[in-house]
Amino acid sequence: MHSNKRYRALIVDDSEMNREILKEILADELDITEVDNGEDACEYMINHSGEINIVILDLVMPGMDGFEVLRFMKYKHLSDTLPVIMISADSDENNIEKAFDLGVIDFLSRPFSERIVIRRVMTTIRLFRRQKELVDELDRQYKADDMRIDDLTGLDYKQTFYNKVYTHLRGNPNDRLLMIAIDVDHFKLFNSYYGWESGDRYLKFIAKYLKEFTQRFGGIAGYLGGDDFALLAPYKRQELLTFGNMVWKSPELSNYEVGFAPKVGIYEIQDPLEAVGSIYDHAKIALENIKDDYTKKISWYNHSMLQNVRDEFELLVDIKRGMAENEFIFFVQPKVNMHTGRIVGGEALVRWNHKEKGLVSPGVFIPVLEKNGFISQIDKLVWREVAAWLKSRIDDGHRPIPVSINVSRADIFTMDVTDYLEELVNEYEIPRELLEVEITESAFVEEENRIKEELNRLRRTGFTVLMDDFGSGYSSLNTLKDLAIDILKIDMKFLRMDVTNMNKGVSILESVVNMARALHIPTIVEGVETEEQVDFLTKMGCIFAQGFYFYRPMPVDEFERLISEEEKVDFKGIFISDLEPVHVREFLDENLFSDVVVNNILGAVAFYEVEDDGTIRLIRMNKQYSKLIGREFVGEDEENEELLTDAIRPQNYDRFQDMFSAAYMSPLTGTEDILRFTRSDGEEILLHIRLFFLRKRPDVRVYYASIDRIS
Ligand code: C2E
Ligand code: MG
Ligand code: MG
C-alpha cells in the first residue's frame, strides 16, 4: 500500500549548489530540509529527530565535518533511528571504510547519476524502516514477557507501573502526591567493584524497601530497568524522610562504599492530567541535579531546574557565537621544579574572553559542552592555537619547552583525538614532544577499554600522556600500573588537606608518590598554594609542582616574557626522582583504612610483617583485598589476628616467602609474582602480587602488597 505520508530527508552540505542539485533530484519523492553546516545539522537532529527519515551528509565541510557529525550521532544514539548516506567527491577507500565504521549505510560519490541516487535513497529509507519494525517487534515481544512483574525485583515493570499510576491519578485527582525517581550512583562501577551478583542483590534490596514503603504508606512502586526505580507516594514529608534515613543506614547498604548510595529526585505532582512519562521526567531532572555530588541524597524538583536546562541551551548558542568571533583563547600556567624554582613546561588552559562578561573560566562552560558532546569544537580550536603558538616560538628562534593541552573524556568519544593531534603537529611542523596531552583520571573509570586504546595510540604516535587530577575519582594505584601513561598529576585539592585531616592527606600522598616512583612514573603535584605545602612536598621527595604558590595561569604574552629569561627555564623537563623512597609515615598508626578515598585510590592492598625468624603475618588489609582472597573483613579485634595470618597462605608458599627477601633487596622497584591461592569458598584463583618493602621496625620488617586477580 502506498501511504500518503511523504518521507523527509535532511541534506547537510556546505555548498549551496550541491544542495540544489540534490533537491532537484529528490524533491519529487521526498520533503527536504537543508542545512549548510555540521553544527546546525546536529542541533536540528536533536530537536527534530522524529521528523526526518534519512540524512544525506557531505563529508568535507568547514567546522564540523561529516565524520564528526557521525560521531555525534553515535554519541547521542541518533544513528539507531536515522540512516545516513554519505556524499563526497573523493572515493578514497580509507574514508569510505571509516564512514561505514561510523555507521553510514551507503556512500554516494559525485557526480551523481540522478536515477541511481533516487533509488538508493528510497531503498535505504525503506530497508531501514523495515529493519526497525523488526527490531521493534522483537522489543515488543520481549517487553510483553516482563510487562507485568520484573523477575529480579518483583516490582511492576515500566508500562504496568505507568498504567497503574495513570489510573491512580485519574481516580484521585485531589490527592497530594509525589513522584520519586530513584537510582544508584555509579551503578555500572558498582558491578565492576562487587560483581553482578552483588549488583542484583543490591537492586533486590532497594525493591524490598520500596515494597515495604507502599505497604506502610500506600503508593505504587515500579522498576524501570537498569538501576532506575520509581515510586508514586502520598505527600508525607516527615514519614518519607524517616523512612529514607532508615534505608540509608540499613545494614545492607553499609556493606558498600558510600559513593554507591541510592539517590532520589522528588517531584510534587501539580497536574494529575500530565502524562506519566513527563511526571517521571521531572523527578528525574531533580535527581540528575545531585548526581555526582556525594553530599546530597535527596533533591526536590523546582522550576529553576528546568530553567537550567533552558539556560544551558542559551549558553550553547552563545558559545557558538563566541567561537565564530574568536573569543576563545588560552592562558598558560607554568610547571616548575620545586628545588630550583625553574620552569619546566606549561599547561594551556582555555579562557573565554566574552565580549560582555569579560574572562569566563572553563568551569562555567566546559561541563556543559562535555555533557552535550560539543566539547571537541572548543578543544580543537584551543589545541590549534597552542600548536600555532609553539610554531611561532620556534620560528622566532626560541628554545621551546613543552606545553600540555587538556583532552576531555567526551573528546575521545566524539572525535579522533590522535589523528587530529597528529595532523596538527604535522601541519605546524612542531616536534610532538612539545605538545603534551592531559587526560583526566575520571575518564579512566567508565568504558575503560576505549580510553586505554586511545591512550596507547597517542603514545605510539609519540605524544606524552599525563594522567590529570589523580585522586579525584575511583582509579586505584593498581590501575595505574596497567595504564600506559608517562606522567602522573596529583591534585592537592582532592586530598582535602585541611588542618583536621592533614595527616591522612599526607599519608595518601606519600603512598601514591612512592608507588608511582616504584612504577617509574614521574609525578607533578598540582594545586600547590602555600609554603608549607612546598616544604613537605619536597621533604617527601616530590620535585615538580604547578600551583598558585609559584605562578597563576597567565596570558600567553606574559608567559613569553617569563620564559625569555633563560635562567628561569629548565630544559631538562620532568623526570623521575631517584631519591630514596620516603618511609610512609606511621602508615599503620593512622586509621587509614576506614577511609573511602584510600580504599579507592589504593585498590586491593595489604600490609605484611615479617619477623626475623621468617614468620609472615598479614597485619592489615582493605576491603578490596579481603574480597579478592575471599575473607570477610573484620574490625580490629583478636579474632582478626588469626584470620589475617591464616589468610595469607597461597599454595606456592615458598615462592611467596622468597618474594619478601626479593622485595627487601630492591626497595625501589619491589617485586612481583603470580601465585595460586585458595579462597575461603574453596575456589582456586591466580593472584598477581606486587610487594614493596616499606620500613624496618624493631624485630620486624613491614611490607606493602597490592594484588589483583588474573583468573
Ligand atoms: P585542570 O586541567 O586540572 O587544570 C588545573 C586547574 O587548577 C586550572 O583551573 C588552574 O587554574 C587551577 N589551579 C592551578 N593551580 C592552582 C592552585 O594552586 N590552587 C587552585 N585552587 N587552583 C589551581 P582552570 O583553568 O579553571 O581549569 C579548570 C579545568 O577545566 C581544568 O582542570 C581542565 O580540566 C578544564 N580545562 C581547562 N582548559 C581546558 C581545555 O582547553 N579543554 C578541556 N577539555 N578542558 C579544559
Ligand atoms: Mg589539566
Ligand atoms: Mg588537574
> How do residues 99-111 score in pLDDT, each as one tens digit?
888 888 888 877 7
**Is 571 touching ligand 1 by the criterion CB < 6 Å?**
no
CA of residue 655 to ligand 1 center, whole Å: 47
Gap between the Cα atoms of 604 and 606, Å rounded? 7
Residue 446: per-residue pLDDT: 62
Classify residue 77 as left (phi > 0), alpha (psi -120 to 50) or beta: left
CA of 438, nearest ligand number: 2
CA-nearest residue for atom 3, ligand 1, is: 469
Residue 599: per-residue pLDDT: 56
436, three cell numbers: 603534551
C-alpha count within 13 angstroms, C-beta hemisphere, residue 571: 7
What are the DSSP calls for 306-320, one per residue?
Answer: HHHHHHHHHHHHHHH
pLDDT tens digit string along 304-328? Answer: 877 776 777 788 889 989 998 999 9
Atom of ligand 1 nearest to the CA of 528: 18
**Is 553 touching ligand 1 by the criterion CB < 6 Å?**
yes
**Is 528 touching ligand 1 by the criterion CB < 6 Å?**
yes
CA of residue 632 to ligand 2 center, whole Å: 39
Residue 438: per-residue pLDDT: 97
Residue 594: per-residue pLDDT: 38
**Is 375 touching ligand 1 by the criterion CB < 6 Å?**
yes
CA of residue 388 to ligand 1 center, whole Å: 21
Residue 146: per-residue pLDDT: 46
Crossing angle for the helix pair 93-101 and 66-75, to the nearest 10 degrees: 20
CA-nearest residue for atom 45, ligand 1, is: 406
For residues 378 and 319, is the Cβ–Cβ distance under 8 A?
yes
CA-nearest residue for atom 20, ligand 1, is: 527
Mutate to test the pocket of ligand 1, among 335, 385, 406, 548 (most ligand atoms within 8 A of CB): 406
CA of residue 643 to ligand 2 center, whole Å: 44
Mutate to test the pocket of ligand 1, among 366, 405, 415 (most ligand atoms within 8 A of CB): 366
pTM flag (> 0.75):
no
Closest CA to 264 of 178, 343, 384, 330: 178
CA of residue 400 to ligand 1 center, whole Å: 22
Gap between the Cα atoms of 181 and 286, Å rounded? 8
CA-nearest residue for atom 22, ligand 1, is: 527
CA of residue 439 to ligand 3 center, whole Å: 9
User: Which H/E stretch holds residue 23?
Assistant: helix 16-26
Residue 2: per-residue pLDDT: 44
CA-nearest residue for atom 44, ligand 1, is: 408
CA of residue 509 to ligand 1 center, whole Å: 20
- Find the radius of gyration of the CA atoms of the chain: 29
Residue 79: per-residue pLDDT: 81
**Is 548 touching ligand 1 by the criterion CB < 6 Å?**
yes
Residue 681: per-residue pLDDT: 82
560, three cell numbers: 613569553
The contacts of residue 98 (CB under 8 Å, 6+ apart) are 67
CA of 524, nearest ligand number: 3
Atom of ligand 1 nearest to the CA of 469: 3
Closest CA to 488 of 444, 532, 447, 431: 444
Closest CA to 67 of 57, 77, 76: 57
Residue 583: per-residue pLDDT: 41
Residue 499: per-residue pLDDT: 58
CA-nearest residue for atom 15, ligand 1, is: 547
Atom of ligand 1 nearest to the CA of 491: 3
CA of residue 406 to ligand 2 center, whole Å: 5
Please state, as a whole number, how many other Cβ atoms lie within 10 Å of the Cβ of residue 208: 16
The contacts of residue 204 (CB under 8 Å, 6+ apart) are 152, 153, 154
**Is 369 touching ligand 1 by the criterion CB < 6 Å?**
no
Closest CA to 532 of 521, 514, 547: 547
Please state, as a whole number, how many other Cβ atoms lie within 10 Å of the Cβ of residue 37: 18
CA of residue 315 to ligand 3 center, whole Å: 24
Task: With a cut of 50, list the residues of the chain below it in pLDDT.
Answer: 1-3, 145-146, 580-597, 636-637
**Is 367 touching ligand 1 by the criterion CB < 6 Å?**
no
CA of residue 319 to ligand 3 center, whole Å: 23
CA of residue 641 to ligand 2 center, whole Å: 44
